[in-house]
């Protein structure tokens, strides 16, 4: 498990599910949302003197400071769209552009690691948007299923898990992070040279100059241990250069990413929270799909749905995408075992069914069983079992099931089938 905790997208160009893209989108969007909401526009505009004058052009002219407030509002709204994967192409461009500009405005007063990392965040958003059509587990992905025929939807649900999903944006984000980290050891090679930089004396000075901000108990011991200091310095060089080298040589990147987490944690504990943003960026490489699979339920269930209901088949596509264990067998009234169809309690054209060890759960209860299958949706399943929620939910399900032809595209005509196929 540990060697594959983070994914080298140069070695593994495709995955069995699009979960990693969805996980990365949510982590990146949450970072932008938190960072963006924390930008104090008033403080940006009221400083009387610009420190970094060559970026002053990013500031709006006097009397137009309200533009930044509007930008911040649009950034937050756009980021919410980005997080859920709605119109990702345009929302990622808008979010990237607005976050870049606000970072530029902030940079006029704060040229340093903080705004460097924010700029890197904006670049990651741009990269994500460039290949957003690969992000199937999103609102856009669900919308795209509306272009598929009934036949295709049925085939997608019922075929074995042979789907492969490209992750080009995550591969480019890995490359971006690798290049960014490798910049430091490259610069140190030319000046002052790796030997001089990694000496115990030099590393001790880095620690001492900003002091022990959190009062770490072992700080004095570390500063007085030359071999330990040299070891830390060498490890720093190795993990910074190692991410790019591991990625390009298609070796596992997990040891390097864990090393970088360790390096940033050590810096945070000794000299300050200088690289907090990088934690978010490294998390983009997390193997969300493997964690998801290891936490998913082991039980095998059968789902029987109405194979003529377009709305039903579209609604079930996300469950198919996150079923990385292949624990769900999908059937409609034409393919289901006779034992299910002959059951007096079962009416497939009226409601969907989930069979657990042969026991049928229909309608609202069927969805509750489906949600119970996956770690991300277990809380929903638990909430659905609360009596008031269940009372409302059952009514809602009955209403939708009874009126799905009226409100959604449900019955499929032959003309539609021919047109789409």
Partner 1 sequence: MRKLCVGVFIVCLVVPNIAGIHIFPFVNLQKYTYAADDTVTQYEIRIVDEQGRELKLDPRAVEPIRPHKITDTFAEDYSADERNRTFEHIFWEVKSYREYIQSQPKIRRTALEFPEHDIEDRWTYSELEKYEAFTTVRIYKVNKTFVNDNTAVAIEREQVYEWSPDGLISESDTQ
- Residues lying near partner 1 in the complex (CB under 8 A): 34-35, 37-40, 43-44, 46-49, 51, 55, 100, 103-104, 106-107, 109-117, 119-120, 122-123, 126-127, 130-131, 172, 175-176, 179-184, 186-188, 191-192, 196-197, 200-202, 204-206, 208-209, 211, 213-214, 220, 223-224, 272-274, 276
Closer by beta carbon to partner 1, 120 or else 247: 120
Per-residue tokens: 282: 């490294």
Q: How far apart are CA 264 and CA 257, in angstroms?
A: 11
Least distance CB 284 / partner 1 (angstroms): 16
Least distance CB 40 / partner 1 (angstroms): 5
Per-residue tokens: 116: 């460097």
Least distance CB 248 / partner 1 (angstroms): 13
Least distance CB 53 / partner 1 (angstroms): 9
| CB neighbours of residue 232 within 10 Å | 19
Least distance CB 49 / partner 1 (angstroms): 5
Phi, psi of 86, deg, nearest 5: -100, 120
Least distance CB 203 / partner 1 (angstroms): 9
Query: Are the C-beta atoms of 149 and 310 separated by less than 8 Å?
Result: no
Across 182-204, b (16+ Cβ under 10 Å) vs e yields beebeebeeeeeeeebbbbeebb
Nearest to 414 by CA among 150, 29, 118: 150
Closer by beta carbon to partner 1, 10 or else 311: 10
Closer by beta carbon to partner 1, 213 or else 417: 213
Query: Are the C-beta atoms of 247 and 8 separated by less than 8 Å?
Result: yes
Closer by beta carbon to partner 1, 245 or else 273: 273
Length of the chain: 421
Query: Are the C-beta atoms of 206 and 271 separated by less than 8 Å?
Result: yes
Closer by beta carbon to partner 1, 17 or else 236: 236
Residues 6+ positions from 322 with CB-CB distance below 8 Å: 17, 19, 137, 292, 374, 376
Closer by beta carbon to partner 1, 5 or else 245: 245
Closer by beta carbon to partner 1, 210 or else 349: 210
Across 152-171, b (16+ Cβ under 10 Å) vs e yields ebbebbeeeeeeebbbbbbb
Least distance CB 69 / partner 1 (angstroms): 15
Least distance CB 350 / partner 1 (angstroms): 47
Closer by beta carbon to partner 1, 208 or else 386: 208
Q: How far apart are CA 375 and CA 295, in angstroms?
A: 6
């Amino acid at each position: 498990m540990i060697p594959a905790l983070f994914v080298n997208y140069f070695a593994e160009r495709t995955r069995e599910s699009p979960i990693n893209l969805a996980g990365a989108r949510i982590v990146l969007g949450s970072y932008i949302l938190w960072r963006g909401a924390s930008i104090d526009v008033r403080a940006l505009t009221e400083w009387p003197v610009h420190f970094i004058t060559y970026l002053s052009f990013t500031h709006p002219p006097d009397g137009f400071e309200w533009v930044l407030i509007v930008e911040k509002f649009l950034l937050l709204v756009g980021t919410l769209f980005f997080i859920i994967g709605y119109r990702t192409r345009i929302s990622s461009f808008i979010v990237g552009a607005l976050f870049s500009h606000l970072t530029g405005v902030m940079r006029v007063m704060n040229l340093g690691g903080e705004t460097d990392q924010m700029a890197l965040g904006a670049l990651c958003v741009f990269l994500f948007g460039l290949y957003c059509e690969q992000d199937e587990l999103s609102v856009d992905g669900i919308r795209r299923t509306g272009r598929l025929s009934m036949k295709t939807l049925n085939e997608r649900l019922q075929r074995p898990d042979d789907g492969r999903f490209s992750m080009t944006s995550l591969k480019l984000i890995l490359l971006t992070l690798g290049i960014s980290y490798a910049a430091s050891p490259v610069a140190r090679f030319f000046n002052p040279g790796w030997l001089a930089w990694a000496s115990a004396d030099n590393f001790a000075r880095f620690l001492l100059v900003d002091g022990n901000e959190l009062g770490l108990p072992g700080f004095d011991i570390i500063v007085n241990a030359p071999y330990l200091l040299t070891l830390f310095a060498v490890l720093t060089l190795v993990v910074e250069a190692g991410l790019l080298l591991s990625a390009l040589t298609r070796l596992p990147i997990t040891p390097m990413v864990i090393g970088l987490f360790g390096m940033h944690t050590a810096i945070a504990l000794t000299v300050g929270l200088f690289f907090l943003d990088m934690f978010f960026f490294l998390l983009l490489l997390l193997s969300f799909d493997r964690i998801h699979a290891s936490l998913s339920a082991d039980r095998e269930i059968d789902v029987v749905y109405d194979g003529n209901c377009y709305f039903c088949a579209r609604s079930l596509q996300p469950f198919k995408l996150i079923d990385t264990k292949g624990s769900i067998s999908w059937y409609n009234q034409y393919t289901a075992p006779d034992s299910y169809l002959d059951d007096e309690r079962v009416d497939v054209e009226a409601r969907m069914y989930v069979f657990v060890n042969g026991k049928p759960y229909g309608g609202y209860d069927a969805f509750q069983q489906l949600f119970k299958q996956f770690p991300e949706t277990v809380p929903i399943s638990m909430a659905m079992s609360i009596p008031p929620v269940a009372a409302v939910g059952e009514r809602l399900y009955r209403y939708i099931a009874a009126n799905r032809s009226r409100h959604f595209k449900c019955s499929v005509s032959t003309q539609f089938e021919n047109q789409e196929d």
